[in-house]
Chains A and B, each alone.
Chain A
Amino acid sequence: MKSPMLVVLLAFVASTYAAALALQSPKFTVSSPNGDQIRSEPISLTKKSSPVRLGPQDVLRVTFQVTENDGGTGVQPHQAFLRFYDNISGEDGLQPVRVTSNGKARFELNMARPPSSFPPTSPDSVLKVSLIIGSFVHKPLAVDLFDLIVPASQPVASHPEEVYYHPQPVIEHTFRPEQKTPPAFISAVFSALVLAPWVVLVGLWSQLSPKVPNLFSLKIIPFTATLGAFELLLVWYWVDLRLGQVLLYGAGLGIVAVFTGKTALVQVGKLRKGSI
């Protein structure tokens, strides 16, 4: 509800105060270094005149008067700039223009000593000259005046910090290439090969057919059982357990194993001595 009202109100206020500015009798003159006038024309704000060409020593003069509305009294704007803009290279230069209190202004460009803001140019660049006027109480004004062709200067020297104003290359993390797993066939073949020695082992052992007469005696079987438990614990560790747990269980099992092992091995020792 509130904001559209406000906008309307502001627009009304602005339209009453911001009377437009206008240019009166803009005119340019080109003269050679010895003072001869080469070209002198009023500037048409509606139809662009042919480009103005300046020699290396020539002087360009621009005069105009800033007035309120068309044909009103001359006013002094707060800021006035001439902008030289090179379409091709994108370089531009802003040169402040002094405007007197009755709105009259006069600007002189000596190509022998151009102002420091004047942009560098290439042989085929055409500078667009426009006038920008700013004021607190009036609407701003920007008018294209004419095109300007000046002798080429040395190419633009790049700014020392210029390199920082480009998008940096994207940092890409390089990872180790994914390891290839061999084809299933080769894996299967080698699995079979790795398992093959078991056949050899079983074959050799069956040929030797060792006798274990006391394996199942009461004193020895707990020892073999604890050894089996150890292996199971380690497999369990591989599958699931964490380090602390396996050390704890292992310690417990170790104490048991010491006792069972002692009885078992003493028994075996007795058997051996007896058999000898």
Chain B
Amino acid sequence: MALAYSLPSNLAPSTVQNTASFLRIIALAFISGAAIASRLFAVINFESVIHEFDPWFNYRATKVLASQGFYEFWNWFDPTAWYPLGRVVGGTIYPGLMATSGVIYNILHALNLPVDIRNVCVLLAPGFSALTAWATYMFTKELKDESAGLLAAAFIGIVPGYISRSVAGSYDNEAIAIFLLMFTFYSWIKALKTGSAFFGTIAALFYFYMVAAWGGYAFITNMIPLHALVLILMGRFSSRLYVAYSSWYAIGTLASMQVPFVGFQPVRTSEHMAALGVFGLLQIVSFAYLVKAHVSSKQFQTLLFVSVVTIGILGTLGIVGLTYKGYIAPWTGRFYSLWDTGYAKKYIPIIASVSEHQPTAWPSFFMDLQFLVFLFPVGVVLCFRELRDEHVFVIIYALVGTYFAGVMVRLMLTLTPCVCVAAAVALSTLLDTYIDPRMPDTTDTPAPDTDRVSVAGATTSEGTPKKTKKDKTPAAEVTQKASINDFATGFEVLGSILEKDKPPRVAGLDSRIVVVGVALYLLVFFVQHCTWVTSYAYSSPSVVLASRNQDGSQHIIDDFREAYYWLRQNTREDAVVMSWWDYGYQISGMADRPTLVDNNTWNNTHIATVGKAMSSTEEVAYPILRKHDVEYVLIIFGGLMGYSGDDINKFLWMVRIAQGVWPDEIQEPNYFTPAGEYRVDAQASQTMKDCLMYKMSYYRFSNLFGGSTPVDRVRNQHLPTTGPTLDYLEEAFTSENWLVRIYQVKKEDSLGRDLKSANAFVEGKKRKRAKPPVRRKAIVASS
């Protein structure tokens, strides 16, 4: 057989094998290194700090776990959150993340490595991304081969879609959850392939870990049953499927119920019923197969088939009936919002108010996945080519994942591993074809087409053609004149790849070099893109902001921490701080003060109370504040700096959430101008100008401009030169760039006046002498 380039022939096969596995290990080590290193931009550009919002709570919880031990953590009741309600933390969190870093912390200390718990937390996500790369390698290896696995590992290591959730300091559940997701899937595939209960048990254990770590475990809970169901419907039931699924489900479900936050949900809610249903179906089907093996009577088998179908239908009806009767909880709102994207906005404004719950904009697909977007469909199509059980899994995963990623920005994360796997399969197939030195065999009979040669079946050296697939065309076609049009060749080769029986061959060295070169160029460009996106877009801690000075040097804006430390240093330890819920975790984490609401949005009414206080007038808000013992109100104001994520921009959500509870007192349209615009300047509606949030934001703002017109740089609007006045609150602190403003709630006037008139008195305004009220009212004669 002709070779495109010469291969060394004097090597023993064992040498080749050892070198290959050695190289694989080296490559995996490098991939892990790259995965970790690319996530350290955040630490290098800023510092080793916990990012964003939720991580601050996780960090705080981890500190409790590390300092007080596991059982204390389990029973932790936090009286400072959701003041005055408090929060049972142990029973309302997924403890997997904290437990993981607690274990790592304890191990390091047992080895006499006195690492700070904060650094463990900051570096946990990068560390686990290396493990994710390894798990993806193992998964892809089961699909295709080792080289595809290495490609997939490299992709998942640096793809921005995953980096966005796992940079150093982003200490959130997703940091470890993606590793667990991939490893659970890997064990499932492995269990299915070998039919081993051992791997089923491993899958169950990692499923348990996943349940303990992330609410997204429901994805696994429904993916695996869906896969099993599809396999049954495709007529691919086997004892292996029975062993793998049953061992996974029986152990995994029992294990998942050990997590207090999940509790009895696996037997009580609709989200988990699919898994139970498939489990029951599998038992019936396998029993039927067993009976079938013993009885050959045709009539009996028909009866068996009918009875299996009847029981299946009856079971489904039973589950529906139980749901109807209320024994099984129906789908939750969060689930509905996945099917109907408008649902959340209508019924659960809290969920809709989070930006990462919005539908995904298409450019972010490209931003997060770059050229993997194009390779992804190719990989999925290639999965159809072999269509073993595990390929069916990838195809289902791709469909489901794509849908979910389109519905919610946040779920891009679950799609990313699948994209990496599929793209790696596609790219490695391409490279395999083009690097393979064997030339097409030209000695065979020429095809009817004059300048083309069909590659005959004789060249199939791999053998073992699959019998189920029907041939579409007799032979794969590859042009000989590859040098004329390499891209055409590329497409045709890809096309011929789809013809599964005959592995395609490429002629000539030049076409190989061009195609491989283009692929390499794409890869290099991908690396460059990932590095750029990571360093610029995804590494900002959002607690610390950065801007560029005019000379290009970096300017750090540290207003948040400045304000939180001010609170920590200057207020009483039990002073309640009210803010919008986004900042609850940060206040309790950095300032260590009780908060009314925080990012664990479990109590809608409480949040609506805060929203009402923010969106009503001072007179209305003051009793609310006093009743909740609020001493300080913290708001974020970006008008001076041009920081668009400030409270005025979130304000409409506060109004909407408050309106959901008090529709008579708060109405969204009142906050718009008559023309329906959302304005903060002189044309703003009176309700808007009177509300607490507006007043707190622009209080004394005009003083900054010394008489000239004040400009809000976020909304690009000119404000009136005389700003609002405050009677019931007084300014306590404003950070350097006015990003955080803290107001103190005044106590009741010591002379019993209302604060408005007390203020007027201080300012020297004469009060109109009012007559005392007349208590006695004469009866008016009826005649």
Q: Which residues of A come within 8 Å of B, CB atoms?
A: 56, 91, 93, 114, 116-121, 151-154, 156-157, 242-244
Identity of the chain B residue whose Cβ is nearest the Cβ of A114 in the assembled complex: B776
A–B pairs, 17, beta carbons within 8 Å: A56-B778, A116-B771, A116-B773, A116-B774, A116-B775, A116-B776, A151-B779, A152-B779, A153-B777, A153-B778, A153-B779, A154-B776, A154-B777, A154-B779, A157-B775, A157-B777, A242-B71
The yes or no answer to B70 lying at the interface (CB within 8 A) is yes
Q: How far is the CB of A60 from chain B (nearest CB, A)?
A: 15
The yes or no answer to B772 lying at the interface (CB within 8 A) is yes
Q: Report how far A117 CA is from B775 CA in the complex, Å.
A: 7
Q: Report how far A156 CA is from B777 CA in the complex, Å.
A: 9
Q: How far is the CB of B405 from chain A (nearest CB, A)?
A: 37
Residues from chain B with Cβ under 8 Å of A157 in the complex: 775, 777
Q: Report how far A157 CA is from B197 CA in the complex, Å.
A: 80
Q: Report how far A43 CA is from B296 CA in the complex, Å.
A: 124
Q: Chain B 759-778 against A: per-residue CB contact (8 Å), 1 yes, 0 no?
A: 00000000000011111111
Q: How far is the CB of B109 from chain A (nearest CB, A)?
A: 15
Residues from chain A with Cβ under 8 Å of B778 in the complex: 56, 151, 153-154
Identity of the chain B residue whose Cβ is nearest the Cβ of A150 in the assembled complex: B776
Q: Are B775 and A119 in contact (CB under 8 A)?
A: yes
Task: Kindly name the residue among B70, B776, B779 whose own CB sees the greatest number of chain A CB atoms within 10 A.
Answer: B776
Q: How far is the CB of A113 from chain B (nearest CB, A)?
A: 10
Q: Report how far A56 CA is from B780 CA in the complex, Å.
A: 11
Q: How far is the CB of B435 from chain A (nearest CB, A)?
A: 41
Q: How far is the CB of B88 from chain A (nearest CB, A)?
A: 15
Q: Report how far A153 CA is from B775 CA in the complex, Å.
A: 10
Further contacts, 6 of them, CB under 8 A, given A151-B778, A157-B777: A91-B775, A120-B776, A151-B779, A152-B779, A153-B776, A154-B778
Residues from chain B with Cβ under 8 Å of A243 in the complex: 70
Q: Report how far A207 CA is from B773 CA in the complex, Å.
A: 101
A-B pairs, 4 with minimum CB distance? A154-B777, A120-B776, A116-B774, A153-B776
Q: Are A120 and B775 in contact (CB under 8 A)?
A: yes
Q: Report how far A179 CA is from B327 CA in the complex, Å.
A: 19
Q: How far is the CB of B535 from chain A (nearest CB, A)?
A: 41
Q: Report how far A114 CA is from B773 CA in the complex, Å.
A: 13
Q: Report how far A242 CA is from B71 CA in the complex, Å.
A: 9
Q: How far is the CB of B98 from chain A (nearest CB, A)?
A: 15
Residues from chain B with Cβ under 8 Å of A242 in the complex: 71
Residues from chain A with Cβ under 8 Å of B774 in the complex: 116
Q: How far is the CB of A201 from chain B (nearest CB, A)?
A: 20
Residues from chain A with Cβ under 8 Å of B777 in the complex: 120, 153-154, 157
Q: Report how far A121 CA is from B776 CA in the complex, Å.
A: 8
Q: Chain B 654-665 against A: per-residue CB contact (8 Å), 1 yes, 0 no?
A: 000000000000
Q: Are A116 and B772 in contact (CB under 8 A)?
A: yes
Identity of the chain A residue whose Cβ is nearest the Cβ of B69 in the assembled complex: A244
Q: How far is the CB of A109 from chain B (nearest CB, A)?
A: 12
Residues from chain A with Cβ under 8 Å of B773 in the complex: 116
Q: How far is the CB of B186 from chain A (nearest CB, A)?
A: 22
Q: How far is the CB of A95 from chain B (nearest CB, A)?
A: 12
Q: Report how far A252 CA is from B98 CA in the complex, Å.
A: 25
Q: Are B70 and A119 in contact (CB under 8 A)?
A: no
Residues from chain B with Cβ under 8 Å of A91 in the complex: 775
Within 8 A of A (CB), among B723-782: 771-779
Residues from chain B with Cβ under 8 Å of A93 in the complex: 775
Q: Report how far A93 CA is from B774 CA in the complex, Å.
A: 11
Q: How far is the CB of A160 from chain B (nearest CB, A)?
A: 11
Identity of the chain A residue whose Cβ is nearest the Cβ of B779 in the assembled complex: A154
Q: Report how far A114 CA is from B774 CA in the complex, Å.
A: 9
Task: Kindly name the residue among B71, B771, B775 whose own CB sees the greatest number of chain A CB atoms within 10 A.
Answer: B775
Q: Chain B 50-90 against A: per-residue CB contact (8 Å), 1 yes, 0 no?
A: 00000000000000000000110000000000000000000
Q: Report how far A244 CA is from B70 CA in the complex, Å.
A: 9
Within 8 A of A (CB), among B18-37: none
Q: Report how far A34 CA is from B774 CA in the complex, Å.
A: 26
Identity of the chain A residue whose Cβ is nearest the Cβ of B74 in the assembled complex: A243
Residues from chain B with Cβ under 8 Å of A118 in the complex: 775-776
Q: How far is the CB of B223 from chain A (nearest CB, A)?
A: 29
Q: Report how far A120 CA is from B774 CA in the complex, Å.
A: 10
Q: Are A156 and B775 in contact (CB under 8 A)?
A: yes
Q: How far is the CB of B267 from chain A (nearest CB, A)?
A: 18
Within 8 A of A (CB), among B491-540: none
Q: Report how far A91 CA is from B779 CA in the complex, Å.
A: 18
Residues from chain B with Cβ under 8 Å of A151 in the complex: 778-779
Identity of the chain A residue whose Cβ is nearest the Cβ of B780 in the assembled complex: A154
Residues from chain A with Cβ under 8 Å of B70 in the complex: 243-244
Q: How far is the CB of A57 from chain B (nearest CB, A)?
A: 11
Q: Report how far A244 CA is from B71 CA in the complex, Å.
A: 10
Q: Report how far A154 CA is from B771 CA in the complex, Å.
A: 20
Q: Report how far A116 CA is from B774 CA in the complex, Å.
A: 5
Residues from chain B with Cβ under 8 Å of A120 in the complex: 775-777
Q: Report how far A153 CA is from B780 CA in the complex, Å.
A: 9
Q: How far is the CB of B767 from chain A (nearest CB, A)?
A: 19
Identity of the chain A residue whose Cβ is nearest the Cβ of B71 in the assembled complex: A242
Identity of the chain B residue whose Cβ is nearest the Cβ of A153 in the assembled complex: B776
Identity of the chain A residue whose Cβ is nearest the Cβ of B781 in the assembled complex: A56
Residues from chain A with Cβ under 8 Å of B71 in the complex: 242
Q: How far is the CB of A257 from chain B (nearest CB, A)?
A: 13
Residues from chain B with Cβ under 8 Å of A116 in the complex: 771-776
Q: Report how far A117 CA is from B772 CA in the complex, Å.
A: 9
Identity of the chain B residue whose Cβ is nearest the Cβ of A120 in the assembled complex: B776
Identity of the chain A residue whose Cβ is nearest the Cβ of B106 in the assembled complex: A244
Q: Report how far A118 CA is from B775 CA in the complex, Å.
A: 7
Q: Report how far A79 CA is from B778 CA in the complex, Å.
A: 29
Q: Chain B 562-602 against A: per-residue CB contact (8 Å), 1 yes, 0 no?
A: 00000000000000000000000000000000000000000
Q: Chain B 128-168 against A: per-residue CB contact (8 Å), 1 yes, 0 no?
A: 00000000000000000000000000000000000000000
Q: Report how far A238 CA is from B71 CA in the complex, Å.
A: 16
Identity of the chain A residue whose Cβ is nearest the Cβ of B771 in the assembled complex: A116
Q: Are A119 and B779 in contact (CB under 8 A)?
A: no
Identity of the chain B residue whose Cβ is nearest the Cβ of A154 in the assembled complex: B777
Q: Report how far A244 CA is from B103 CA in the complex, Å.
A: 11
Task: Kindly name the residue among B771, B772, B779 whose own CB sees the greatest number of chain A CB atoms within 10 A.
Answer: B779
Q: How far is the CB of B251 from chain A (nearest CB, A)?
A: 14
Q: Report how far A114 CA is from B777 CA in the complex, Å.
A: 10
Q: How far is the CB of A112 from chain B (nearest CB, A)?
A: 9
Q: How far is the CB of B10 from chain A (nearest CB, A)?
A: 39
Identity of the chain A residue whose Cβ is nearest the Cβ of B775 in the assembled complex: A120
Q: How far is the CB of B35 from chain A (nearest CB, A)?
A: 29
Residues from chain A with Cβ under 8 Å of B771 in the complex: 116
Residues from chain A with Cβ under 8 Å of B772 in the complex: 116-117
Q: How far is the CB of B775 from chain A (nearest CB, A)?
A: 6
Q: Report how far A151 CA is from B776 CA in the complex, Å.
A: 11
Q: How far is the CB of A47 from chain B (nearest CB, A)?
A: 30
Q: Report how far A151 CA is from B774 CA in the complex, Å.
A: 17
Q: Report how far A118 CA is from B772 CA in the complex, Å.
A: 12
Residues from chain B with Cβ under 8 Å of A154 in the complex: 776-779
Identity of the chain A residue whose Cβ is nearest the Cβ of B772 in the assembled complex: A116
Residues from chain A with Cβ under 8 Å of B775 in the complex: 91, 93, 116-120, 156-157
Q: Report how far A154 CA is from B778 CA in the complex, Å.
A: 6
Q: Report how far A151 CA is from B777 CA in the complex, Å.
A: 11
Q: Chain B 471-505 against A: per-residue CB contact (8 Å), 1 yes, 0 no?
A: 00000000000000000000000000000000000
Q: Report how far A56 CA is from B777 CA in the complex, Å.
A: 12
Within 8 A of A (CB), among B671-704: none
Q: Report how far A117 CA is from B70 CA in the complex, Å.
A: 68
Q: Report how far A242 CA is from B69 CA in the complex, Å.
A: 13
Q: How far is the CB of B777 from chain A (nearest CB, A)?
A: 4
Q: Report how far A108 CA is from B208 CA in the complex, Å.
A: 89
Q: How far is the CB of A162 from chain B (nearest CB, A)?
A: 13
Q: Report how far A252 CA is from B70 CA in the complex, Å.
A: 21
Residues from chain A with Cβ under 8 Å of B779 in the complex: 151-154
Q: Report how far A140 CA is from B595 CA in the complex, Å.
A: 55
Task: Kindly name the residue among B771, B773, B774 whose own CB sees the greatest number of chain A CB atoms within 10 A.
Answer: B774
Q: Report how far A120 CA is from B779 CA in the complex, Å.
A: 11
Q: How far is the CB of A243 from chain B (nearest CB, A)?
A: 7
